[in-house]
Amino acid sequence: MADNDPQFLGLVELGEQIRARRLSPVEVTNAALDRISRLDGALKSFSTVTAEAALAAARIAGQEIAEGRWRGPLHGVPVAVKDLCWMKDTPTAHGMPLLRENRPSEDGTVVARLRAAGAVILGKLQQTEGALGLHHPDIDPPVNPWNPDLWTGVSSSGSGVATAAGLCYGAIGTDTGGSIRLPSSCNGVTGLKPTWGRVSRYGAFELAATLDHIGPMARSAVDCGAMLGAIAGADPKDPTAAPEPVPDYLAGLRDDLRGMTIGVDHRLVSQGVDEETGATFDEALRTLARLGAEIREIGFPDPTPVVDDWTPLCGIETAVAHENLYPTHKAAYGPGLAGFIELGLKLSAVDYQKIVLRREAFRGQLRALFGDTDLIAMPTLAFAAPTLAKMASIVSDPSVLQGVLRFNCPFDMTGSPTITLPAGAAANGGCIGFQLVGRHFDEARLVAAGHAFQSHTDWHRRHPTL
């Protein structure tokens, strides 16, 4: 369904309405809080709602805008953040009941930058335990707003559900093995995974340090570009945050793709991909071609080694992230996260070094592809709108895990930026997306390509009936 409900305006569209004073930050914040109150008891996307603080921020934003002190497209717009982002004096549990009383003494960098941009933060969004693949057994997982029998994606499940359901205008997610792209695809929203280091990780609980990416999830590519512009950039608190200048991601956008080359390895993207996913992906390619893009056949490097290496590498890095907590609180961990840490603890230094070498080789092979190709197109999942029952078989059926990891974790291993775009609907009522992959720090091209695609399609404007 697509309509003009203010709760389903794009973030940038709403920001323009607020700047023109046709809508007030307090008005839209109250509407969002009311919608959360009415709907989130069933959807379970929020772990904490900070209503009082949100309304206080909305009042300040309204006053500043009235006085002509406009901060940018996020000013006065209600957003929310994944529960692993530190918020001062606010419960920040990382999806772990063990940490439910944790209240950071400061904001993480992403939260601080959202506040500096004038955004109104509604609260914290539910996630899987430790941002891995499963919700803790003591936590009710978020519910897909399109169909409660469908998977929400992991680990930014609350971010995908809240954005799709119109409970916020944009959300922060993180991606270590697909956790911006999977919930974006499954909930029919747009997700932008930046280059590793493009966004500071200071004040965000770690899953795997060299794989973790922080990025926006919103209604459109333009909205994601606006959010990324607010949160990206160097940070003295995080020495791994990249010093590259942050461009204006909304500058010079067009509704065509003339002069852009998009690479596709048709053999790779058809192997093990179901009919609905394949048909949706092919139609997306036809749309990109109609917009003027040159669709070029490429030979993508075999992703099997890095897909296989992602699990042990992530296990090692997760064990490091939890080394001061896990040994003494092991009983409080869910079986999924505990098992993953144990896997990491068992691997040898020799095994680790072999993984590092294969990872670097794959990075080089992928980098070479971008010599004459601007973007690479891929599905996000090998199957369309998976059910909860299907995903419950992920341990016993290796093809399910492969279908999740195959098109996702390679680009966490390389740190490459991607944008996930809604592109179709499945027969079971769920959503189907696809992704474009870019050169490091070429997020502006991803936003431009996403905007052009969304200028000629309306999948991003559809929303569930609730």
For the stretch 305-327, pLDDT in tens is 999 999 999 999 999 999 999 99
Q: DSSP string covering 148-194, please?
A: TTB---SSSHHHHHHHHTTS-SEEEEEESSSTTHHHHHHHT-EEEEP
In the set 157, 179, 200, 220, the catalytic residue is 179
Tens digit of each residue's pLDDT (9 = 90 or more) over 335-374: 999 999 999 999 999 999 999 999 999 999 999 999 999 9
Query: CA dist 139 to 95, 128, 134, Å?
Result: 8, 9, 10
346 catalytic? Reply is no
pLDDT at 395: 82
pLDDT at 6: 83
In terms of CATH, what superfamily is 7-304+353-461? Amidase signature (AS) domain (3.90.1300.10)
In the set 44, 45, 47, 82, the catalytic residue is 82
Q: Are 215 and 411 in contact (CB under 8 A)?
A: no
82 catalytic? Reply is yes
SS3 of 259, please? coil
124 catalytic? Reply is no
Name the pTM for this structure.
0.98
Cis peptide preceding 179, ω within 30 of 0: no
pLDDT at 4: 55
Q: Are 194 and 247 in contact (CB under 8 A)?
A: no
pLDDT at 313: 98
Give the residue range(s) of CATH 3.90.1300.10 domains in the chain.
Answer: 7-304+353-461
**Torsions phi, psi of 61, nearest 5?**
-60, -45
With a cut of 50, list the residues of the chain below it in pLDDT: 1-3
376: its two tokens: 């690479």
Chain-centroid distance of CA 375 in Å reads 19
In the set 47, 155, 157, 220, the catalytic residue is 155
CA distance 17 to 142: 30
* DSSP category for residue 3: -
